[in-house]
A and B are shown apart, each in its own frame.
Chain A
Amino acid sequence: MSTPLIELKNVTKSFGVMDVLHGITLKVNKGEVLCLLGDNGAGKSTLIKTLSGVYKPTSGSFSIDGERVSFASPREAQDKGIATVYQFGGTFPLMSIGRCFFIGNEPTKSFGPFRVYDRKRANQIAVKAVQDFGITRIDDGDRLVGGMSGGERQSLAIARAVYFGARVLILDEPTAALGVKQASHVLRIVLEAKKRGLAVIFITHQVTHAMAVGDQFAVLIRGGLAANFSKGEKTREEITDLMAGGQTLANLDIDLEE
């Protein structure tokens, strides 16, 4: 088997005396979705913040393409192709879709002796990128992000990450606040990202969502890796049981038409 895109070995993270993560060993391959499951406070967010450069691991190693890395800032992680999308897409509700899409990487054009923001081009590219992910409803780059639905915002953020060359997509509970329809939208986009060869780390509390897209599953319990298995190795009931206090989602059916 080829080198995993991302590999964690024995990663530990403590805040002062509190060990939030201990001995996490995980890997994710290209074109694969890893579902990170676990109860509230299990350390999922902390783990992905460690991956995305927000925190530094207290000990253990972290490699990309077999090469050890250490990030001083989220920006460095991004430069290495690790994109993180937080629950609300990390987006800015009162900004236009185009501006939001290019935040920090604004396209410019010359205007006399000055370089100015190229709104038209930004809008065009942003709208096209979002539409390529199947959200054809978005056709006006001047629309404010806050006016989009939760699923559309997530999609915008994912499309954005992919456009800027992300290789690893980290999604922290992208479906948590969404209705069934919206959530299936996001799940479809996760599959699209996977199809494009990205490695996806997907955090969720919903076993159904996890089972719909996951290739690999990792269950965190109180900061430790309680289980790590592949698709089809465990049943929904077993997974639900693994997640301490797993909710009764068993009957929730989502329509996922690929």
Chain B
Amino acid sequence: MNTTQNIPAKHLDELPNARFDLGLLIRRPEVGAFIGLAFVFGFFAFFGNANFVLPIGAASYLNVAANLGIVALPVGLLMIAGELDISIGAMIPAGAMTVAIVSGHYGAPIVVGIGASLLLGFVIGLINGILTIRTGVPSLIVTLGTLFAVQGLVLGVSVALTGSTSVPLSAPDWIKTVFGSYVANSFQVTIFWWLAFVVMCFFVLHMSRYGNWIFAMGGDRESARNVGIPTERLTVALFATSSMSASFVGMCQTILYSSAQVSGGMSYIFNSIVTVVVGGVLLTGGFGSVVGIFFGTLTFAVVSQGIYFTQFDANWASLIIGVLLLLAVLTNNTFRKMALSYSPKKGRTS
């Protein structure tokens, strides 16, 4: 009945090497994202002018990637855990305005402004997380609520306190160097924050036990709870991280541009979801990788900036992103199916 039991043990030992590489490769959620990135990079390197492959070109898409990437990473982790956070669209301007109002308008020390901005992110994240676990309402709806609530709050408070929707801030030089400046004239310092955050998220998701818990939660929340994983605390922590990341990005932008606006940030909602999905994360949770999110972010940034290096009208960029998203989802689905059904030939016999 079980043919494999008849295979001599020696034979079993010989098999793994021959199939190991393929098996491991197919199971990686980032394979599709990497192919996508190679494709769009090749496309713009070919159709774009020489600048695209020079540092100036790299700076243009890395700057976009860094700002988007810092938000996309926690959004991706949340998606893997089975949750969505769209309130980041309001948290970016909220973080931006908070530091500008506290340190710009009221002249408090910059560290107080930065602290207030991150604290606001933390609190909104807590609210998102607690509402999600307590009410059982899907997090898409919960964060849709906080998205509008925070947006209204920021607008109302800004106008009430400063009488304006745009507040200037001049940060001290050292703060600018750390949070909002250009390295080698064109690379935003946030690129380094982003890379550090990538490493941190990689560690958490793929090397620590918390990563295992995040996957388990996204795979089957009920079972995860039953094996003793603190799903509620983890959910709240993930929401807090995503909100704080969004306010961090807003805060860095305020410091870089020396002013904050109440608007802007909404585009990050869709962009981060596109990025994460292109990066191979399963929209319904339980599957994905940090490297995939990293490639997805770069892919998005290359498409949105690469278009300016070509003769094409910039309006075509959205078309490319749309097609790319669909292709990525199809590719990722295919790979996931292959990963699921992939097993050494001998496993097929019974």
Contact = CB atoms under 8 A, between A and B. Distances in A.
A94 B287 contact: yes
Contacts of A96: 27
A104 B1 contact: no
Contacts, number: 112
Interface size class of A (residues with CB under 8 A): 35 or more
B162 interface: no
A61 B226 CA distance: 23
A142 B23 CA distance: 8
Contacts of B229: 103-104
Interface residues of B, number: 43
Interface string A72-111: 0011001000001010001111111001001110101001
A114 interface: yes
Nearest to A74: B226
Identify whether the interface residues of B are mostly helix, strand, loop, or mixed.
helix
B343 A143 contact: yes
A123 to B, nearest CB: 11
A139 B12 contact: yes
A99 to B, nearest CB: 5
B213 interface: yes
Interface in B283-306: 286-287
Given A75-B228, A136-B4, A146-B340, A117 B23 contact: no
Given A103-B212, A116-B207, A117-B209, A140 B219 contact: no
Interface in B1-39: 1-2, 4-5, 12, 15-16, 20, 23-24, 27
A178 interface: no
Contacts of B286: 92-95
A103 B224 contact: yes
A132 B56 CA distance: 59
B16 A104 contact: no
Contact of A104 (B207, B228, B343, B346): B228
A87 to B, nearest CB: 11
B297 to A, nearest CB: 22
Given A104-B227, A137-B347, A144 B207 contact: no
A255 interface: yes
A258 to B, nearest CB: 13
A196 interface: no
Interface string B207-227: 111011101100110011111
A94 B211 CA distance: 14
Contacts of A54: 226
11 contacts: A84-B226, A94-B215, A94-B282, A102-B212, A116-B208, A117-B208, A117-B209, A137-B350, A139-B12, A139-B344, A147-B342
Interface of A: 54, 74-75, 78, 84, 86, 90-96, 99, 102-104, 106, 108, 111, 114-117, 136-137, 139-140, 142-144, 146-147, 181, 184-185, 255, 257
Given A95-B286, A147-B339, 5 more contacts: A86-B223, A92-B219, A94-B282, A103-B212, A104-B229
